[in-house]
């Protein structure tokens, strides 16, 4: 599959799901205005590459991602909350870099044998450890940006792609989409189990009377 193809498929699928009423399931608490603004900014910014000199170039999607991260930090109630989010993002970035680097050293390393394995592992960690949709997406964005920057710096000259280019965009959409689906599914299962448990407990009390 060509780089960038997956991201556009996931953008289309996400837009269809949100337009079909799945917003409360996938992005509860995020306004339609914020979602549409991000979609528009992404689609426009992804068309531009900015040369930074010395063979470096940056894709425009970095702008909406930095704004998204900044907005998530601004919404934190305390400085410690923002610091916790940044530290967790750096942890995910280190995991991402380690997985990519291990894949270069050992081609039989399991995550490297699975397409986008590193992005899926980051999505699983974020789904388990971060609850709010906006915080989850911001942490993944920060982690993928930092991890990709570190990996690109260490392996500079091995890729002609700009930073945050098409391969990064594929990983970002897959990681964010997977994390949101896993989180929403887990919340639904936990809610259903709690309701069933409460119903069984009420019936048990009634039978005891």
Residue tagged 């989010």 (tokens)? 85
Tally of CB atoms within 10 A around 172:
23
Q: In percent, how much of the chain has pLDDT > 90?
A: 52
Please report which confidence band the pLDDT of residue 114 belongs to, taking 50, 70 and 90 as the band edges. Answer: low
Binned at pLDDT 50, 70 and 90, residue 111 comes out as low
Residue 110 is predicted with a pLDDT of: 61
Mean pLDDT, the chain, whole residue set: 88
List, as one string, the DSSP characters of 44-91. Answer: HHTT-EEEEETTEEEETTHHHHHHHHHHHHHT-SSHHHHHHHHHHHHH
What is the predicted pLDDT for the residue at 40?
Answer: 94
Distances (CA, A) of 138 to 37, 110, 170, 178, 204: 16, 27, 16, 14, 44
Question: What six digits make up the tokens of 82?
Answer: 């923002």
pLDDT digits (tens, 9 = 90+) for 10-57: 999 998 998 888 888 889 888 889 999 999 999 999 999 988 877 788
Residue 109 confidence (pLDDT):
67
pLDDT of residue 155: 79
Strands 49-53 and 56-59: antiparallel
Whole-model pTM over 0.95: no
Structure tokens at 58: 């940056």
Q: Which pLDDT score is estimated for 65?
A: 97
């Amino acid at each position: 599959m060509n780089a960038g193809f997956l991201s556009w498929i996931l953008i289309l699928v996400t837009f269809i799901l949100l337009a079909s009423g799945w917003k409360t399931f996938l992005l509860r608490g995020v306004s339609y205005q914020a979602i549409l603004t991000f979609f528009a900014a992404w689609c426009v910014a992804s068309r531009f590459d900015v040369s930074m000199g010395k063979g470096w170039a940056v894709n425009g999607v970095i702008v909406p991602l930095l704004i998204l991260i900044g907005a998530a930090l601004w919404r934190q109630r305390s400085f410690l909350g923002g610091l916790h989010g940044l530290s967790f993002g750096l942890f995910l970035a280190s995991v991402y870099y380690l997985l990519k680097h291990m894949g270069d050293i050992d081609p039989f390393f399991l995550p490297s044998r699975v397409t986008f394995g590193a992005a899926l592992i980051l999505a699983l960690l974020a789904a388990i450890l971060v609850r709010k949709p906006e915080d989850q997406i911001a942490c993944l964005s920060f982690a993928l940006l930092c991890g990709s920057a570190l990996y690109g710096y260490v392996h500079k000259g091995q890729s002609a792609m700009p930073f945050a280019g098409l391969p990064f965009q594929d990983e970002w959409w897959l990681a964010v989409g997977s994390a949101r689906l896993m989180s929403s599914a887990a919340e639904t299962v936990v809610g259903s189990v709690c309701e069933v448990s409460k119903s069984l407990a009420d019936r048990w009390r009634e039978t005891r009377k």
